[in-house]
């Protein structure tokens, strides 16, 4: 009888401990912040009001500007120079080139995306009990097993590839069945564990409507998940302002300043809806809200984007390609009206968000990002980073260190070819922010060659030590 009592006590105590741990885990899960990342497409530094745009660009952006007023604004936030490498870096905390390195040392194509082996931000957060949703452009894999819901997202509605494919269905020169990959892009939807469904053809008409639909889906996701005990991660990669720039019919002609200004006003209104939903549902204090871009304006001539004071556009190694808006709000945790020109890179978001929710990052791979939580929360005036490397495609172009930049390759004036250079160019980005005149190599500033080249050498050593990523 005493044995039965003892067994009962031990079993009851064990059950009580399990229940206590479960309740504690649920409590911690509930206390962890929700995370919303709004990612613009080919959106330059100078578009929104707090970066010198807004009304200067034909449309005020009060909702986006409010994030800066209530949070932290970076003026030296850096990204990769093209859509796919940039999204790869954001999702993995690793330079985009790393997922392109095969285990035999050869490189995959720049638009490959990410391999299934990578651990994405969505996977990391999902493992911690987060509900995860993406509504918008993926562009990191468009074959079986490589869609967003194969990479940590619970649900997705959007497009798998680039927005410019919206031109194809309306082109009178399109030749159907000319190549197995030359097919119309369709809007897709999927849930974790299910095969993605192909929906409407993504043509110009759908192109104009999809950001409205993305916003509606995002609002619905927030509303549904607000009722859950678990926190949520919402990733909202809008399809505008990648060309073709097509405002929704409700916004077409609304500014009187052309399609780009109409889309800017439209985007600000949509961001306002997201902020209002978070406020209405009482989630404001416990939601990290980020607004940023994948890279600078379109690199083609006659593109409408604006890079502010910086030279160049996407596909280039210049600041107009690499430096984009970054605004972050987390009430009571991140001080209001924070403002800094310290260097931060998009790869830093992965470890920083992990630090915010107090979890460990993967240790079985090289993570290039650094934890910027103290910096963003006002505990340090200095960024945890003072350097970064610059790639265009699979070519290493240079490095930044503090306010200096070294380019071992530069672009031709038309922005498509690589210049032959007798000597690398060094720019002082405080003295010459438009990168117009390289420093003369016989002046005292040649001392910066040493720290700049050290950044390149350290990175190249790390690539040699990288075992590469396995094929899917």
pLDDT-based confidence at 23, cuts 50/70/90? very low
171 pLDDT band, cuts 50/70/90, is: confident
Reply yes or no on whether 139 is catalytic.
Answer: yes
pTM: predicted TM-score of the whole model, two decimal places = 0.92
The percentage of residues in the chain with a pLDDT greater than 90, rounded to a whole number, is 79
CB 268 within 8 A of CB 62: yes
CATH 3.30.1120.10 placement within the chain: 389-465
Q: Under a CB-based contact definition with an 8 Å cutoff, are residues 441 and 430 in contact?
A: no
How would residue 383 be classed by pLDDT, with cut points 50, 70 and 90?
Answer: very high
> What is the C-alpha separation between 449 and 126, in angstroms, rounded?
43
* DSSP per position, 59-104: S--HHHHHHHHTSEEESSEE--SSHHHHHHHHHHSS-HHHHHB-TT
pLDDT of 356 strictly over 50: yes
More reliable by pLDDT, 120 or 440: 120
Per-residue pLDDT tens over the stretch 430-449? 999 999 998 876 666 778 99
The CATH fold of domain 389-465: Arylsulfatase, C-terminal domain (3.30.1120)
Catalytic residue of the set 21, 83, 242, 459: 83
- CA-to-CA distance for 459 and 345, rounded, in angstroms? 15
Which residues have CB under 8 Å from 430's CB, separation 6+?
403
Average pLDDT over residues 414-418: 69
Lowest mean pLDDT among 77-81, 267-271, 421-425: 421-425
**Does the annotation count 83 as an active-site position?**
yes
Using CA atoms, how far residue 48 sits from 250, 323, 454, in Å, is: 21, 14, 36
pLDDT of 13 higher than 90? no
Is 1.10.10.10 the CATH number for 32-386?
no
Query: Does position 416 have pLDDT exceeding 60, yes or no?
Result: yes
Least confident window among 15-19, 78-82, 212-216, 259-263: 15-19
- Where does residue 102 rank: exposed (0-12), middle (13-18), buried (19+ CB within 10 A)? middle
Every domain range in the chain assigned CATH 3.40.720.10: 32-386
Report pLDDT for 170: 87
Who has greater pLDDT, 26 or 121? 121
């Amino acid at each position: 009888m005493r044995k039965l009592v003892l067994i009962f006590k031990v079993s009851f105590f064990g059950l009580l401990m399990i229940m206590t741990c479960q309740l504690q885990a649920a409590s911690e899960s509930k206390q962890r912040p929700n995370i919303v990342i709004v990612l613009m497409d080919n959106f330059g530094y100078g578009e929104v009001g707090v970066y010198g745009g807004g009304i200067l660009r034909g449309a005020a952006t009060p909702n986006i500007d409010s994030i800066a007023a209530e949070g932290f604004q970076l003026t030296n936030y850096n990204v990769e120079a093209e859509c796919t490498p940039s999204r790869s870096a954001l999702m993995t905390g690793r330079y985009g080139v790393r997922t392109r390195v095969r285990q035999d040392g050869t490189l995959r194509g720049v638009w490959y995306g990410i391999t299934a082996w990578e651990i994405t931000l969505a996977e990391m957060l999902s493992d911690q009990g987060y509900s995860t949703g993406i509504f918008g452009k993926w562009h990191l894999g468009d074959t079986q097993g490589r869609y967003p819901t194969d990479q940590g997202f619970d649900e997705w509605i959007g497009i798998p590839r680039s927005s410019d494919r919206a031109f194809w269905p309306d082109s009178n020169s399109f030749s159907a069945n000319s190549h197995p990959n030359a097919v119309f892009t369709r809007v897709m939807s999927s849930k974790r564990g299910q095969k993605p469904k192909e929906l409407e053809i993504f043509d110009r008409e759908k192109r104009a409507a999809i950001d409205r639909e993305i916003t509606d889906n995002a609002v619905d996701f927030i509303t549904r998940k607000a009722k859950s005990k678990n926190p949520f991660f919402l990733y909202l990669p809008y399809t505008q302002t990648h060309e073709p720039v097509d405002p929704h019919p409700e916004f077409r002609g609304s500014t009187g300043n052309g399609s780009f200004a109409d889309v800017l006003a439209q985007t600000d209104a949509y961001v306002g809806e997201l902020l209002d939903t978070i406020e209405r549902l009482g989630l404001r204090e416990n939601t990290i809200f980020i607004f940023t871009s994948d890279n600078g304006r379109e690199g083609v001539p006659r593109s409408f984007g604006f890079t502010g004071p910086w030279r160049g556009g996407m596909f280039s190694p210049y600041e107009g390609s690499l430096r984009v808006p970054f605004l972050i709000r987390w009430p009571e945790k991140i001080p209001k009206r924070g403002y800094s020109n310290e260097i931060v890179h998009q790869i830093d978001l992965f470890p920083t968000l992990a630090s915010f929710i107090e979890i460990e990052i993967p240790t079985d791979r090289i993570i290039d990002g650094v934890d910027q939580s103290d910096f963003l929360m006002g505990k340090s005036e200095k960024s945890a980073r003072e350097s970064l490397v610059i790639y265009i495609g699979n070519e290493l172009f240079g490095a930044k260190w503090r306010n200096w930049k070294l380019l071992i390759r530069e672009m031709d004036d038309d922005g498509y070819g690589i210049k032959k250079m007798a000597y690398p160019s060094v720019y002082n980005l405080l003295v010459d922010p438009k990168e117009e005149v390289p420093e003369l190599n016989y002046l005292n500033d040649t001392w910066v060659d040493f720290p700049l080249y050290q950044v390149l050498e350290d990175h190249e050593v790390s690539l040699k030590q990288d075992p590469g990523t396995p094929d899917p």
